[in-house]
Structure 1
Amino acid sequence: MDTARSTISNLFRGEPSTYTRFSLAEHMEGDNSQVEMKLSNSEMDDEVGNSMGDHRDPRIMKPKHSPKNICFVIVCTLLIFLIGFLIGYLSYRGRMPTKEQSCSNADSVPCGTAEELSEDDSDTTVEATPFLEWKQLKELLREKFLLSSFESRIKDFSVNREAGSEGDQTLALTVYNEFKSFGLHSVWNDEHYVKLQSLGSTPNRVTLLGSGTTEVFESQKGYLAYSAAGQATGKLVYANYGREEDFKNLASMNIGVNGSVVIVRGGKICFAAKVANAQKVKAAAVLIYLDPADYDNMPENTEVFGHVHLGTGDPYTPGFPSFNHTQFPPARSSGLPSIPAQTITTNSARRLMSKMTGQSAPSEWKGTLSVAYNLGNDDNVQVKVEVNNVVAEKMIHNVFGVIKGLADPDQYVVIGAQRDSWGPGVAKSAVGTSLLLEMAKALSALVVKDGYKPRRSIIFASWSGGDFGSVGATEWLEGYLSVLHLKAFAYINLDAAVLGSKHFKASASPMLYTLLGNTLKEVSSPLDSNKTLYQNIGSQSWEKQTIVPMAMDDASYAFQAFSGIPSVSFSFTNDRDYPYFGTMEDNLNNLNTRTGNRVDIIARAAANVAGQMVLRLTHDHELSLDFDRYNGELYSFVFKINRFAKQLKKAGLTVKWLFSARGDFDRATETLKNNILNSDLNNPRICRAINERIMRVEYHFLSPYVSPKDTPFRHIFYGSGPHTLMSLLENLNRMNSNTSDVDIVVLQNQLALATWTIQGAANALSGDIWDIDNEF
């Protein structure tokens, strides 16, 4: 009976007498280790068998050998053992999670600690966790944002914080301390020593020469960072927006640009592209102004800031991270202009253009300056441009915080926002920084207070140097180039998320279109709470109405085109573009006017869009990245290429292998979709293997045949350079019009390298080397 009592006692305590498999899982923060154990059914059966075996204690006195007594003792013993075992077993099972609780499906929250495999590939059982349905999870997030005062934060951040300044450092410390207070698992910062350009001690000047008079326009604050320093003098020529087609139109009208000072208006393309286009046609200098036709309600004496580096990051360390210990080769970005460029006020532009004569500009080139828009090119009206900007090395800080995932902590989504600004920068960076902090606060509370356990990690990043061309973000990408594409599976950009109230616009990788569309179906419109954003846009053509090209001055661009990480930027906007970037007019009053005094409401909607995308990316077993979307992109491209099949055949070239590579990519996506349908995603090893194949797709569209130092934007769809599919199409178009204009060897190389880049993406998606169809 002593043995029986001992056995029953052990069973009530839920302590099985033997464990044949176990794994030791360390807590990520160095907490005490815990042993996670799983008892199989066969082992449990063994326990039952052992418990019901012969355990008679020899110290017990033998009873009389009456058959009746013997039967009574046997029955009693069996009943005691059976009752004790059942009570202990039920007690033990009551404290263990069921399979359904341990392995949540797509609409539940992933469970406890990191899922590990034992040596025989069986899954270990993980700790029970609070069970949150997707509907409950997104509602909890929405409620947390209802408590946020975005406008108050935005107002607090509307201070002078030019990159590397004291204000920037102060705000960096604020972000760091707030991340700490939210209870994030880890908070840290990266220091970078970068070269930034600012105004020199001598003001920049524009001098009007001619007609016996001299008029000087001095810039007090506005300038274009990374302009070439020096002087240039030439005839004044008006070139509309400074696009390539604008300069082609000038040439067709016999207006010479070589050696001239070109005046262009802001809008349509970035400042850097305007200057690069002017430099291509050998202009001597560029002046940029804001025309009232594009920038309504802008005070006419508004100074304008911008940068003219046709690229991202520190242009004096192209392809290299600007850490203080790095030895840099003597290099500079090919995107730096070699001609002076300067912004001028609207009033100064009116006075300059009133002096211009010559041919009248096309009607679509005319703005609302109340002057005759003439093309100029008059020897009697010349302009001298003097730029005295200086380059100085400055220290900037990127600040990070992380919520570590429990199943796959080494895979993470990055959420980032620019922190610095040349002026008040309310829409440019204060909104994004406010959203970043409120999202970190809300998502951390979901984990700490509500029991949400993300499968993957969430990194919050506050960048500096954004006004100079995503300097902080790009330097971080360059610093960890060798590992980020293996770990970061998505980037969500919060810059300029609130610019108005009427429309929702987004720039994104095709792999994020489906996630974005599903998110819009679940977030209420800030204009009508009875409608979702998806319903507000119009479900039949939401992509056409929503998706716009990703610009180079978008912080997402470096992630997408340089690092091959699927990225998305979005904003609430109005019919006309936000006019106040890079001016002192980017303030809270003007943003309130643009939003109808609903900054808080619209910022809350923006937070819900970003927050729900983050939850989906860290919640589901399968990554919410639609790899099949690139089939459509490839089909569209080869369809355009096929138009030139006859010309290529005459040149001894063929599109056969390009079509074959596209077909292999299509087959690889179908195979992966079937693998997902036929796989148990509750198995951590299988799930991780599938996700790793998915998260490599974007990266393998970076051309492996060009250098990230010389050609940083290697993406064949969204990059820039001769390796891109767009460059290939441009060459084919030239061949179509005049074969002698095209170098056939160059075209052959473009076709071959594009083919092998696509084939490489198909091979990577196929999985293991033995699964790849080698009949190319």
Structure 2
Amino acid sequence: MEQARTTISKIFNGEPRSYTRFNLTQNMEGDSSHVEMKLSADVDEDVEGNGVGEHHQPNGVHGPYAVRKPGRSPKNICFLVSATLLIFIIGYLIGYLVHRKKDVALSCASAHLPINSPPSDMEIEKGAAPLMDWDDVKTLLAEQLSTNKLEEAFRDLGSARHQAGTPGDDALGNKVLSKFKTYFMAPWTDEHFVKVEEPNGNKPNRVTFNGVPENLLGFLSYSAKGSVTGAVVYAHYGQTDDFSRLVDYNIDLSGRVVLVKAGEISFAEKVANAAKLNASAVLIYADTAVGTATQLYGHVHLGSGDPYTPGFPSFNHTQFAPVKSSGLPSILAQTIPLDLANRIMSQLGGHIPPSEWRDVSRLGDATNVVTVEVNNVLVEKKINNILGVIKGFVDPDRYIILGAQRDAWGPGFAKSTVGTSILVELARAISFMVEHRGFLPRRSIVFASWSAGEYGNVGATEWLEGYLSSLNMKAISYINLDGVVTGADGFKASASPLLQTLLERTMKEVSLKPNRFIFPTAPLSLHFMFCVSWMSLLFSLSLQPMQMADAAFPFLTFSGIPSLSFRFTSASASDYPYFGTMLDTHDRLKMATANQVSKLALSAAQVAGHMTLRLVHDHLLSFDLRRYDMVIRSYTADITRRLMTLQKSNPNLLPKLLTPQWIQSASGSFSRASSNLLDDIEESQLDDVVMCREINDRFMQVERNLLSPYTSPRDSPFRHIIMGSGPHTIQALVDHLEAFRLRRPEANADAFQNQLALVTWTVQGCANSLAGDIWSLDNEI
């Protein structure tokens, strides 16, 4: 355009014009090289005159490309005007094409995802303004989800055997992959080579009691191997409090074989608790509901993922340090059927148990001896995670992840089939909404079918480890679909505090209406009641801290991604007893849910679908910072109370200068930063894409910044100071203060000061990040 203005000026001001045939010429006065075009008419004039450029110029330039300075004839003026118009036309076309390219890139964020164009009367999105009302989005989802569709998915995706790394697992994975392709989701396969332990076909595991050996089919992967003989001691569920009871009875567990009941906590936690007290082996028996001969299967790795590549992905031919996870047990662990457990318990002597331990009449003495032999072998398996994506149209590089475990020890209907079916059905429904109904999600949705979940969320964790640097910057949340239906009159959920308000709102939207709220003293617990309209039954809901066995746990505590798990379950009885057995079938789940499997699965799909769509539809993420503020304040108050009480009752236990002032200040900083962000939201304009993205990024940084930067992700993978586990957590501070109160030997003043400092600065750092740009920080934050 500048050249056009110069040309026009020369035409009307009578300045000379010069043309060459696309020649780069160097000006004698040092001007930069330039390209000039000689028109055909001028060439003709040259031919008619002195030949093609064969004339002398005053500036001394000679040759075929010498510059010619013709006069201002009408013919020349005509050609110049034509050239000017041509330049304008070319410039306009270039500008139009560039602008058009940007529009196409916005409306087709996924180049390989064929999405039908929106109707011609639909407004094309120019920024963050919604193209569809939220009520219309909910209606479209409801139209696509049905019990009939879910039952069809149950039949299609159910199988009797699909253990991780077997042909059954591969065949099921290929089905999911094929469906994702049908839904135009550009699916891909994430392949890993993982190490797991399985029974030795030539040398079975066995337990010998009263001289009678019994070979066992059930097993616990990652158990230590060998043979030990020891006296049996009964420890109820093997929880920390259960072992504390035994210690109070002056029962020495060193070298003992501990007999515990399945349930309440994971197998791995039971074994770890026994190992702390120097037991030699753990036997785990099944609940009475599963039958006396039923075999149990599971793992005892106190962690997540492949324990032989901790902190690293198990890609093929990767060369990582030959280390093992610290969560691998040092003692033997084996499951036994209930009939064998009953034979052992019926002959126990020793101390009378607590009244609530009803399975036994005695706890066991030195005469009740068993031999445990574990001969598992370590094998390598190839597993495949199947993933697909529906890309967003405003922020395609920000995404929600929906995941479900695909493998199981046996039929695994409740454990994996229901969740996988819901995953596939939500993929179909949302893909249809995008392709045929004009729904344009702002952010992307990733659908993930994990393998090797039964070995400790191996597939999901290896994926996290492989792409951690990208995921913890771009993943907005993770919603877990494992085991979402196990009962008919209760609802349990574990969620990041950021997602708790969204969960409550979602329950109301899908007719799960709360009518009573109870807030207990536990910092992370929330209990309330709600009704399901289509069943007219009163449900009890419990929002609980997330457990290590939960598939969402590594997403939250290892990657810093806000995560959610939920389950329709039984409110009165113990949890679904068929997990980890060959009895987890469709028929048994029907009995456990009063024949309401498909209806409960539909409700579960609606809960997961509504939360997902809300997170990809709204301008701003539906995260509630006030919930985290409440949690941090609650812990701060608890630490303050305990610390002040200790300093008053035992002034010499801790340094006099050690006060709770710093952690109180950090807690206050987090509160002020949260309030400031809420103020920024009030003043924001929702059609400002850049502002919305900046605010959403500040939301996303909260969970990630609560991962302790002072611990190694290899040595302490669950680094979240509130939801994780280890000495770096706020709960560890509380436990340390309790150890001081009880005068336990592990209490150490220097170690406590270090813990307090690191936790405090992690909270302060999170507050600083939440406040925004570095120039937004001040002494108030």
Verify the 8 A CA contact 1:148 1:438 in the aligned structure 2: no
1:258 corresponds to: 254
SS of corresponding position for 1:391:
strand
1:242 corresponds to: 238
More deviation, 398-407/134-143: 134-143
Shift of residue 139, structure 1, vs aligned partner: 1.2
Q: 1:95-174 maps to which residues of 2 (within 5 A)?
A: 102=126, 108-109=130-131, 132-146=132-146, 148-156=148-156, 157-174=158-175
Corresponding position: 1:499 with 2:486:
yes
Q: Tell me the distance in 1 between the aligned counterparts of 2:465 and 2:689.
A: 31
1:208 corresponds to: 209
Shift of residue 134, structure 1, vs aligned partner: 1.3
The unaligned stretches of length 5 or more in structure 2 are 1-91, 114-118, 520-525, 529-540
Verify the 8 A CA contact 1:141 1:443 in the aligned structure 2: yes
2:379 corresponds to: 392
Q: TM-score, normalised by structure 1?
A: 0.81
Q: Tell me the distance in 2 between the aligned counterparts of 1:670 and 1:23.
A: 41
Q: Tell me the distance in 1 between the aligned counterparts of 2:554 and 2:647.
A: 34
Question: Residues 603 and 376 from structure 1, CA distance in 2 versus in 1: closer, same or farther, beyond 3 angstroms?
Answer: same
SS of corresponding position for 1:413:
strand
Q: 1:630-641 maps to which residues of 2 (within 5 A)?
A: 630-641=628-639
**Letter of the 1:613 counterpart:** M
Q: 1:325-404 maps to which residues of 2 (within 5 A)?
A: 325-367=317-359, 372-378=360-366, 380-404=367-391
Show CA shifts across 1:416-448 (max 9, x none): 000000111000001111001001000000000
Corresponding position: 1:453 with 2:477:
no
1:223 corresponds to: 219
Percent identity for Structure 1 against Structure 2? 49
**Letter of the 1:348 counterpart:** L
2:555 corresponds to: 559
Q: Tell me the distance in 2 between the aligned counterparts of 1:189 and 1:17.
A: 42
**Letter of the 1:352 counterpart:** I
Question: Residues 733 and 174 from structure 1, CA distance in 2 versus in 1: closer, same or farther, beyond 3 angstroms?
Answer: same
Aligned-residue Cα RMSD (Å) equals 2.3
Corresponding position: 1:522 with 2:509:
yes
2:674 corresponds to: 669
Q: Tell me the distance in 2 between the aligned counterparts of 1:143 and 1:703.
A: 44
Verify the 8 A CA contact 2:127 2:689 in the aligned structure 1: no
SS of corresponding position for 1:365:
coil
Q: Tell me the distance in 1 between the aligned counterparts of 2:565 and 2:253.
A: 36
Shift of residue 644, structure 1, vs aligned partner: 2.7
Q: Tell me the distance in 2 between the aligned counterparts of 1:741 and 1:24.
A: 65
Question: Residues 445 and 17 from structure 1, CA distance in 2 versus in 1: closer, same or farther, beyond 3 angstroms?
Answer: closer
Q: Tell me the distance in 2 between the aligned counterparts of 1:341 and 1:450.
A: 54
Corresponding position: 1:198 with 2:185:
no
Corresponding position: 1:182 with 2:175:
no
Q: Tell me the distance in 2 between the aligned counterparts of 1:543 and 1:534.
A: 13
The total of aligned residue pairs comes to: 653
Shift of residue 233, structure 1, vs aligned partner: 0.6
Verify the 8 A CA contact 2:545 2:723 in the aligned structure 1: no
Question: Residues 319 and 95 from structure 1, CA distance in 2 versus in 1: closer, same or farther, beyond 3 angstroms?
Answer: closer
Question: Residues 30 and 228 from structure 1, CA distance in 2 versus in 1: closer, same or farther, beyond 3 angstroms?
Answer: same
Question: Residues 178 and 736 from structure 1, CA distance in 2 versus in 1: closer, same or farther, beyond 3 angstroms?
Answer: same
Q: 1:19-30 maps to which residues of 2 (within 5 A)?
A: 22=99, 24-25=101-102, 26=105, 27-30=108-111
Q: 1:581-600 maps to which residues of 2 (within 5 A)?
A: 581-600=579-598
**Letter of the 1:452 counterpart:** F
Question: Residues 366 and 180 from structure 1, CA distance in 2 versus in 1: closer, same or farther, beyond 3 angstroms?
Answer: same
Shift of residue 739, structure 1, vs aligned partner: 7.6
1:656 corresponds to: 661
Shift of residue 375, structure 1, vs aligned partner: 0.7
Question: Residues 147 and 250 from structure 1, CA distance in 2 versus in 1: closer, same or farther, beyond 3 angstroms?
Answer: closer
Verify the 8 A CA contact 2:506 2:607 in the aligned structure 1: yes
Question: Residues 579 and 30 from structure 1, CA distance in 2 versus in 1: closer, same or farther, beyond 3 angstroms?
Answer: closer
SS of corresponding position for 2:348:
coil
Q: Tell me the distance in 2 between the aligned counterparts of 1:177 and 1:197.
A: 30
Q: TM-score, normalised by structure 2?
A: 0.81
Q: 1:415-434 maps to which residues of 2 (within 5 A)?
A: 415-434=402-421
Shift of residue 275, structure 1, vs aligned partner: 0.3
SS of corresponding position for 2:174:
helix
Show CA shifts across 1:86-118 (max 9, x none): xxxxxxxx999879x75565xx43xxxxxxxxx
Verify the 8 A CA contact 1:228 1:339 in the aligned structure 2: yes
1:746 corresponds to: 751
Q: Tell me the distance in 2 between the aligned counterparts of 1:19 and 1:452.
A: 30
**Letter of the 1:605 counterpart:** S
SS of corresponding position for 1:697:
helix
Q: Tell me the distance in 1 between the aligned counterparts of 2:346 and 2:742.
A: 40
Corresponding position: 1:512 with 2:513:
no
Corresponding position: 1:478 with 2:461:
no
Q: Tell me the distance in 1 between the aligned counterparts of 2:463 and 2:636.
A: 35
Shift of residue 736, structure 1, vs aligned partner: 2.1
Q: Which structure would you say has the larger Rg?
A: 2
Corresponding position: 1:726 with 2:731:
yes
Corresponding position: 1:312 with 2:293:
no
Verify the 8 A CA contact 1:149 1:600 in the aligned structure 2: no
More deviation, 150-159/593-602: 150-159
The unaligned stretches of length 5 or more in structure 1 are 1-15, 33-93, 110-131, 524-531
Q: Tell me the distance in 2 between the aligned counterparts of 1:709 and 1:736.
A: 32
Verify the 8 A CA contact 2:153 2:425 in the aligned structure 1: no
Q: Tell me the distance in 2 between the aligned counterparts of 1:774 and 1:431.
A: 52
1:59 corresponds to: none
Q: Tell me the distance in 1 between the aligned counterparts of 2:354 and 2:231.
A: 20
1:45 corresponds to: none
SS of corresponding position for 1:699:
helix
Choose the corresponding residue for 2:429, options 418, 427, 442: 442
Choose the corresponding residue for 1:547, options 543, 547, 570: 543
SS of corresponding position for 1:448:
helix
**Letter of the 1:568 counterpart:** L
Corresponding position: 1:619 with 2:617:
yes
Question: Residues 374 and 645 from structure 1, CA distance in 2 versus in 1: closer, same or farther, beyond 3 angstroms?
Answer: closer
